[in-house]
Chains A and B, each alone.
Chain A
């Protein structure tokens, strides 16, 4: 099976712009979670989607939003970019099995805001 894919891998934007990141989960996985990783804050949960519905949301401002399509692919959008939004954005798709929920992470999108 192909792993989680994220596009683009690298992105450079300027303050005030908006950006859309894409994530394709592993085939058959219906849950997609998004995380932000920075050196100072580590990995922080953004939100999670399942069957096109947002089920859970982290403590991020409304500038951060997402959606999921019927094929389970997900996008996240950040509007009015700030310098502090520079980070590695990771998505993870989840399978629930006998051992519990295991998250499979993509390679991430490195966003730099200038």
Chain B
């Protein structure tokens, strides 16, 4: 079955540095991959979507890469700020017929320290 792995340990970085989060998947070839941000007690908020034929996508301070050979996506936040502290989730599409069914990783908690 499909499996998604994200770093279970929290990532602690200093303000201004670049945070890099990893998402690995197995037994699957997704058509696209998404990244979400989740704050405590709230629902996930969509950040970026990258398709299987795209290598990289950027949005302001965010950058996502997608390597279908390595079955890995990297999520970068440049010039990080304490307000970026949250849990970041990667999600894969549920495949053909998987209408609006996302398969989520467990998430990585990011803490940005002043």
A25 to B44, CA, bound (A): 15
Chain B 83-111 near chain A by CB (<8 Å), digits 1 or 0 = 00000010101100111111111110000
Asked if A22 is an interface residue, CB under 8 A from chain B, the answer is no
Among the stretches A12-20, A50-58, A62-70, A71-79, the one at the interface with B is A50-58
By a CB distance below 8 angstroms, the chain B residues around A4 are: 43
Q: Which residues on B sit within 8 Å (CB–CB) of A99?
A: 49
Residue of chain A at shortest CB distance from B93: A101
The 8 Å CB contact of A48, one of B51, B99, B105, B106, is B99
CB-based nearest B residue for A99: B49
Given contacts A56-B94, A90-B43, A107-B43, contact A101 B106 (CB under 8 A): no
Residues of B within 8 Å of A35, CB to CB, are 102, 104
Interface check A94, CB cutoff 8 A: yes
Q: Which bracket fits the contact residues of B?
A: 20 to 34
Q: Tell me whether A111 is interfacial, beta carbon within 8 Å.
A: no
**Chain B residues within 8 Å of A102, by CB:** 34, 46, 49
On chain B, the residues within 8 Å of A42 by CB distance are 104-107
Q: Quick check: is B61 within 8 A (CB to CB) of the other chain? A: no
A residues 1-19 with Cβ under 8 Å of B?
Answer: 4
Contact pick for B99, options A31, A43, A100, CB 8 Å: A31
25 CB-based A-B contacts, threshold 8 Å: A31-B99, A42-B107, A43-B102, A44-B104, A45-B94, A45-B103, A48-B101, A50-B100, A55-B100, A56-B94, A90-B43, A92-B100, A94-B100, A101-B32, A101-B49, A101-B93, A101-B100, A102-B34, A102-B49, A103-B34, A103-B102, A105-B36, A107-B42, A108-B41, A110-B41
Instruction: Spell out A's residues near B (CB within 8 Å).
Output: 4, 31, 33, 35, 42-45, 48, 50, 55-56, 58, 90, 92, 94, 99-108, 110
Closest 3 CB pairs of A and B: A105-B43, A43-B104, A55-B99
